[in-house]
Structure 1
Amino acid sequence: MTATRVPGPPGLPLIGSLLDLKRDALATYLSARRDHGDVIRLQAGPPGLRAELWMVFSPEAVQQVLATDAANFRKDNVFYGEIRESFGNGLLTAQDADYLRQRRLVQPLFTRKRVDRYADAIGAEAEALAARWAAAPGGTVDLGEEMNRFALRTVSRILFGQDVEEAVETVHHAFPVLNNFVRDRAFSPLRLPRKWPLPGHRKALAAERTLYEVCDGIIARRAARGDGAADDLLGLLADARGEDGERLDATELREQVLIFLLAGHETTATSLIFALHLLGRHPEEQARAHREVADLLGDGRRPTAADYAELPYLTRVLKEAMRLYPAAPAVGRRAVADTVIGGVPVPAGADVLVAPYVTHRHPAHWEEPERFDPERFTPEREAARHRYAWFPFGGGPRACIGQHFSMLESVLALAVLLRGFEVTTVDREVPLGQGITLEVRGPARVRLTPRG
């Protein structure tokens, strides 16, 4: 199969679209769809090192890649390979028998009933954050730093229980180093061996060792104490058994923990950053959210899992923030067989990207796509829309196992924070970038006004 008929930006003669992607990958994706259609090819890099990316933007084509023909599109690309090297072969990156085995063991820990048990821990961390905000100098905070710290503390508390303090500081300092290392290697046309003693390599490997050591230490002490059945997620993972008695060994436990930390804090933090940032720019929508929260939680009590269903407008606010700023702006696969997507031939071996950041703005499916409008997510309008017009949690057989956890954490945290404060956006435009997740590359400050 040839790719000569695939539309796409021509780029520069020697390096294709490399500079455009480095300057602003998200804007490059948007302009590519606008100018060339729903399935396009981007070429980047010099001859001999040139990468080709087939990008898929329409909901119908996204469904084909993630669901209908999912067996043809595997996590064999460079990006997932780099994540495996740094964070291990956990549920996010595993494939075939490894993935099926891990999914069987882990799935029972993410049922709605099980996840709802963590609502109290979520509420406690949100209340601690609100108390700190009450003492914020000048009443202004940077949402990027604040939400990342909150989401990290919350997922660490749920994972590690009483060992949370030991883990948080290590993860807080090590993760940005590894994330940047993975991103830079994944997007570079030339990847030198990790073991070469280059400054960036040494820094990343030191961060990796520190992260492994703290996780391995907690896991080893749990095993020595014999309290694997503790009610935090690590205890449940250690105690999980398959039908034939199979279980995760110590290395597999660490790999699952690292993947949960990676997938469970930066993604949720991104959603919370932009939900609050957008409300700070839209006072009428914020006032409606305040009324809903006050009606339900005006007595000051800590929210419970049952309250999640009683906050429909706040849930719509969150979903709209996730539409405009999906935590995973582009998701890659590698084609293992010749496939036709949207009438365009895609050859075996091609790197294929679906891009929530673009599909969530597709003008054929979203009226005035750049406008913030939580009412897009009423039940009636959701039911009328294509399933893959909005897919921040992916879809098909590899859909995110933590979807309910992320939604529960985000909605309950927003409820606690909005009960205590009115937020006013200071930095109206927040610079963005693409890494492992959507990156906030500048301040995202809001001014806080305490509510009575």
Structure 2
Amino acid sequence: MTTTGTEIPGPAGLPLLGSMLDLKRDSLGTYLHAQREHGDVVRITAGPPGLRVEIYGVFSAEGAQQVLATESANFRKDNPFYEEVRQSFGNGLLTSQDTDYLRQRRLVQPLFTRRRVDGYAASITDETSAMLATWRNAPDATVDVAAETTRLTLRAVARILFGVDVESAVDVVQRSFPIIGEYTLTRGYSPANFPRSWPTPANRRATAAMDELYAECDRIIEKRRADGDAAMGEDLLTLLTHAESDEDTPLDASEVRDQVLVFLLAGHETTATSLAFALHLLARHPEEQTRAREEVVRVLADGRVPGAADLDALPYLTKVLKEAMRLYPAGPVVGRQAVAASEIDGHTIPAGATVVVAPWVTHRHPRYWDEPERFDPERFTPEREKARPRYAWFPFGGGPRACIGQHFSMLESVLALAMILQEYELEAVDVEVPVSTGITLRAAGPARCVLRPVGRGTGPA
């Protein structure tokens, strides 16, 4: 039997507000509870009468594959959240659609081949070495791995993007991104907003932050274009300004800036989340941490700095990161809007519906994962991966809009994790770390770990 529209089950919520308060208080818990209580396709209403929205959650691996891959043309990025991201961070690969997206993808894809990305390994390890140098003087031999990995990944992606202009870019991003991100998130989930042009305090703060960020990007881009062939290097900005294909015109200055903004956003926050929680999970699970370190010591027997060629020789570290991304996917909820009605898992999603797929929920689905809250890197042996549906694990999205930076994220995370484990044993101070759902998933509190230098006894440094 096929259910349609209002027949699809879901939480009752409050008479006037539906599930609005639950979603605002704990959206991930609300989606998880809805799946447990009502199944793999649920209808959630939120908001007061007249401003009420209906959200259709699709939580099975098969349903996620349908939305993101096999019927991706029917599920578009047309919802209010993506429109707010587009207005804040430009019309880059994350938000563009149709011919704009296809052109951008053709121009940018060659910059993210495995060979090209592997060439950034030295930038990643240099920044990791600099971070580890500061850890040697950490007060009480304790660091917040969430804060530290955020700084590390921002510096790494800014260096890869901007080359010699990294310092000023990092300063501007650190000031502006939190303001713009919070503003975008608030507007994206609000049932009604003042126009951005109105001089409200929130609009003025966000506009000032965006002006500073855009101006810094434009300054560096203009400098790079003015330098011409003399500036030709391997940093990503230079490659973007010279990107071309047989069928597409090159990106203009504003299009280059849009791509830069997306790479800054997606290229540091997502990887920081994956790396931070991988470290914190290992700090809470000493047996798995010991096994990971043994692999690092075996592969890097002379204590050398790892490189891209070592990635395939560190399969257990890769499993650790995949399991961290299962439990803490950086994109925990992915929204789309249905163009036409579509049947998913025996339910008809109506045309025009707001649809969400949620790695946070599907990655905890008991049909695919035994004891889903337990940390177990061995879930990602080749045999066990092959036995699961393709979209039981999809931290990088999927289908034609899968994240273009998947290999970059894994390379950065594995290399940084290997270097940290070479030098330190970690023990968790904060056993539980709350999370918040901004544009990406982030730690909402400290994830402090005590550092014990490897091979120097058991006491703090």
TM range (shorter): over 0.9
Q: What amino acid sits opposite 2:253 in the alignment?
A: A
Alignment partners' CA distance in 2, 1:298 and 1:426: 30
Identify the residue that residue 459 of structure 2 maps to in structure 1.
none
Identify the residue that residue 408 of structure 1 maps to in structure 2.
411
Alignment partners' CA distance in 2, 1:428 and 1:41: 34
Q: CA deviation at 1:302?
A: 1.6
Alignment partners' CA distance in 1, 2:233 and 2:221: 12
SS in 2 for 1:173: helix
SS in 1 for 2:6: coil
Q: Which deviates more, 338-347 or 150-159? A: 338-347
CA contact (8 A) 1:281 1:424 kept: yes
Deviation track 1:218-277 (CA, whole Å, cap 9, x = no partner) reads: 000111111453210000111111104610000000000000011100000000110000
Identify the residue that residue 277 of structure 1 maps to in structure 2.
280
CA contact (8 A) 2:323 2:375 kept: yes
SS in 1 for 2:56: strand
Identify the residue that residue 427 of structure 1 maps to in structure 2.
430
SS in 2 for 1:303: coil
Q: CA deviation at 1:299?
A: 2.1
SS in 2 for 1:196: coil
Q: 2:349 aligns with which of 346, 349, 358?
A: 346
Q: 2:439 aligns with which of 431, 436, 440?
A: 436
Alignment partners' CA distance in 2, 1:333 and 1:244: 29
Identify the residue that residue 192 of structure 2 maps to in structure 1.
190
Identify the residue that residue 23 of structure 2 maps to in structure 1.
21
Deviation track 1:28-52 (CA, whole Å, cap 9, x = no partner) reads: 1110000000000111110011111
Alignment partners' CA distance in 2, 1:198 and 1:137: 41
CA contact (8 A) 2:4 2:347 kept: no
Q: 1:240 aligns with which of 243, 248, 251?
A: 243
Q: What amino acid sits opposite 1:198 in the alignment?
A: T
Deviation track 1:328-381 (CA, whole Å, cap 9, x = no partner) reads: 000000000011111111111111000000000000000000000000001111
Deviation track 1:282-331 (CA, whole Å, cap 9, x = no partner) reads: 00000001111111224232211001111000000000000000000000
SS in 2 for 1:53: strand
Q: What amino acid sits opposite 2:32 in the alignment?
A: L
Deviation track 1:427-450 (CA, whole Å, cap 9, x = no partner) reads: 111111211111211111111111
CA contact (8 A) 1:25 1:433 kept: no
Identify the residue that residue 92 of structure 1 maps to in structure 2.
94
Q: What amino acid sits opposite 2:108 in the alignment?
A: V
CA contact (8 A) 2:323 2:380 kept: yes
Q: CA deviation at 1:2?
A: 5.3
Q: What amino acid sits opposite 1:430 in the alignment?
A: V
Q: 1:79 aligns with which of 78, 81, 98?
A: 81
Structure 2, unaligned runs of 5 or more: 456-461
Deviation track 1:57-92 (CA, whole Å, cap 9, x = no partner) reads: 000000100011111000101111011000000011
CA contact (8 A) 1:54 1:351 kept: yes
Alignment partners' CA distance in 2, 1:324 and 1:98: 34
Identify the residue that residue 451 of structure 1 maps to in structure 2.
454
Alignment partners' CA distance in 2, 1:217 and 1:125: 24
Q: 1:58 aligns with which of 49, 57, 60?
A: 60
Structure 1, unaligned runs of 5 or more: none
Whether 1:336 and 2:375 are equivalent positions in the alignment is: no
Identify the residue that residue 387 of structure 1 maps to in structure 2.
390
CA contact (8 A) 1:43 1:50 kept: yes
Q: What amino acid sits opposite 2:275 in the alignment?
A: L
CA contact (8 A) 2:363 2:393 kept: yes
Alignment partners' CA distance in 2, 1:248 and 1:237: 7
Q: CA deviation at 1:147?
A: 0.8
Identify the residue that residue 161 of structure 1 maps to in structure 2.
163
Alignment of 1:92-111 (within 5 A): 92-111=94-113
Identity of aligned residues (%): 65
Alignment of 1:193-272 (within 5 A): 193-227=195-229, 229-244=232-247, 246-272=249-275
Alignment partners' CA distance in 2, 1:342 and 1:388: 14
SS in 1 for 2:245: coil
Deviation track 1:148-201 (CA, whole Å, cap 9, x = no partner) reads: 100100000000011111100100111111111111111111111111111111
Identify the residue that residue 40 of structure 1 maps to in structure 2.
42
CA contact (8 A) 1:120 1:303 kept: no
SS in 2 for 1:41: strand
Q: 1:374 aligns with which of 374, 377, 389?
A: 377
Alignment partners' CA distance in 2, 1:132 and 1:348: 54
Q: What amino acid sits opposite 1:352 in the alignment?
A: V
TM-score normalised over the length of structure 1: 0.99
Deviation track 1:107-129 (CA, whole Å, cap 9, x = no partner) reads: 00000011000011111111111
TM-score normalised over the length of structure 2: 0.97
Report the number of matched residues. 452
Identify the residue that residue 150 of structure 1 maps to in structure 2.
152
Alignment partners' CA distance in 2, 1:440 and 1:450: 25
CA contact (8 A) 1:174 1:210 kept: yes
Alignment partners' CA distance in 2, 1:244 and 1:199: 45
Alignment partners' CA distance in 2, 1:259 and 1:302: 30
SS in 1 for 2:7: coil
Identify the residue that residue 126 of structure 2 maps to in structure 1.
124
Alignment partners' CA distance in 2, 1:29 and 1:229: 48
Q: Which runs of at least 4 in structure 1 moved beyond 3 Å after TM superposition?
A: none
Q: What amino acid sits opposite 1:415 in the alignment?
A: A
